[in-house]
Amino acid sequence: MTDAVEVPTGPELTFDLRGVQLEDWQQDACAAWAAGDEGGPFRGTLEVFTGGGKSLIALECARLAALVEPHLRLVIVVPTIALARQWRAVLEERTGLDPKDIGELRGGRKDDLRTHRALIGVLNSAAQRLPQIARDARGPLMLIVDESHRAGAPEFSRVLDTPADFRLGLSATAEREDVDDDGVAVEYDDHVLGRNLGAIVYRFDLRSAREIGWLPTFTVHHHAVQLDPDERRRYDEASRKIDDLADRLRDIGVDMSAVRVVAGRSGEQATLARSYVAAVSTRKDLLYRARERTRVSARIVESLASRTPGPRILLFHERIDEAVDLHAALSRAGLGVVALEHSRLSDSRRRQALASFADGSAPILVSVKSLVEGIDVPATDVGVSVASSASVRQRVQALGRVLRRRFDGGEKTAEMHLLFVEKTADELIYEKEDWSDLTGPASNQYFGWGLDAVEPDVLDGPPRTPRPTEDQFWTSFTAERPTLPIEWPCGWPRDEWRLDSRGSVTDLSGALVENPQGVVAAVQRLRPGGGRFRVSTKHRFVVVPEAGSELRAWCVDVLDEPFRTRPAEAMQDEGPVTEDSTPAEMTPGDPYLGPRDRTGGTYKIRQKRGGVITRRVRTGEEYAAADPGEGTEPQVSNAVLVLDAWKRTGESGISFFVNARDVAYYLSGGEARYLAHVDGGFLWPTPEGSEA
């Protein structure tokens, strides 16, 4: 995979795993990574449920890479020091690496790859130094980014510039909640993570783990707690303010799905958007700090300790001050040693807290955020999510901390306790996900705590009606045959597609749909200008989200057959490249039947200043030189040519692509259409290779 270079001497790296036999599904994950994505083999992201053995899967991937490059060197990037220590232990225990061959890049440790076969870097240090370390080392390299979603933040994404022949992302929750300049959610494969580490090539989620019997026996206890009168008054005030600001934003044309993007701009819309974001944050903080969370959590732990000898209990919180109060309350209750871990403590105290919990000398640990990622304690019996975001993913990730299997042959029974504040936005999570479907119908129990109550009441079920499954909706749909569109009652389908303003249907990678069926007209009834929509997996319902709503969507059509796409590479080798591959008489807007690869890049034409060509870079976007006064290079003439061609098509702002034959083309009405020949590309303010 690499050119011949001088590589450091040393034994070949085989990474034969010691004492481990991977499950069939884990082997499938490794095979999917080796097959790779559109960027080539040996790259991709694995989204594996917490407790699924991500580190062992990664080492098997490294073994496969070492079969190709025996002198491979390995870099593992992690978000925390605790996780770095855990990885070192795995490397020492499960591979043939000598401990002295394992370097570290964090804080005071600045090891490199010239003297180490493997390097474990903590994200903040790795983002600053790892790309250069890798360039200095030369030779074949494998980059593993654990909890890869964390590397998507702008301040950390530089770590992805590390040159590596083999690239692997690992996460239980790979998708981030980033949006583009238009407020549209950026799919992982389109994100800087997906582009640099590789697309998500394998998924193994909680439902998959349950269905194959991977999980221990477990129950999930859902606890509704109350706001006290003062908290309820402040919550209602904050909610009214949020509703008022949302109405005002809609009145001035702001799409609420893009409100955070708008808040980063200037002007009246931005001012209102910032007020809205602040109000939502204030209300969320009030819910995190609700007094009853601490009291009820302490009661739950006391009850567990009274009926189970020596349970290992892990409590998660979102706020440090409240976690400190909870730690104090548990300590006063005489439940034994209670450890505390959060970011304001010194590294040594945090390390001691984790070690005490791991060895059982402190059977109870209160942690703020950080332990949702990183700690590997299969002996944990009970998890208590005292406060968490409204994200189903975060709740599932916390659940995974408790549902780790034991590999010593012992049986394990686990409990997870999830607290939410009754009659608040906390309840929305029960509309987003059917917990019975996710975890199994017999696994969930619901309780309600009165204000200052000593014991809870048993509830019949969740506070909100879970959305029906797709199969359930299909049964009623086929029986009633309603007139479309109708409100979509189920959860969001996973497969997302895009209808552009010119009537082209593509997947999110830009591959054109060859059989759109009636979807163009169906989507345009709700969104005349096009936009993103989803198609359900089993019965192919076409679902369009309602503008400005996080929960509401409409079923607009049902496909007769699955979409068939025509990927870019499918037409890449359609005959030799000749001078007359594109007829001289072809004019802008004509159908283009040539290759649809995007080797020469993806660009946008925006209408401002009479037309500008832009591309995305790490800091935002930049403009191609298009004024003869900016230079006489052919690239300037190319920009002028493309802008002139665009104006002749009569299109509004468009995205366009340049293929390996230097043909600029765009998609419209389901077809590729010709723009111009642009031999040599365009002239940019920054050098090639700085694109994000």
The predicted structure's pLDDT at residue 550: 56
Contact 105, 111 (CB under 8 A): yes
What pLDDT, on a 0 to 100 scale, did the predictor assign at position 406? 56
Angstrom distance (rounded) from CA 476 to CA 479: 5
Helix (H, G, I), strand (E, B), or coil: what is residue 446?
Answer: strand
From CA 511, how far away is CA 673, in angstroms rounded? 14
pLDDT in the model for residue 227: 97
Low-confidence ranges of the chain (pLDDT < 50): 1-10, 176, 178-186, 568-581, 689-692
Residues 6+ apart with CB under 8 A from 116: 73, 101, 102, 103
- pLDDT in the model for residue 654: 86
The pLDDT of residue 296: 96
pLDDT, position 388: 81
Closest to 357 (Cα-Cα) out of 376, 344, 333: 376
Q: For residue 8, what pLDDT is reported?
A: 41
The candidate with the shortest Cα–Cα distance to 505, out of 531, 536, 475, 478, is 531
pTM (two decimals): 0.65
Within a 13 Å sphere around the CA of 394, how many CA atoms are in the beta-carbon half? Answer: 17
CA 102, CA 117: separation in Å to the nearest integer? Answer: 6
User: What pLDDT is recorded for position 583?
Assistant: 52
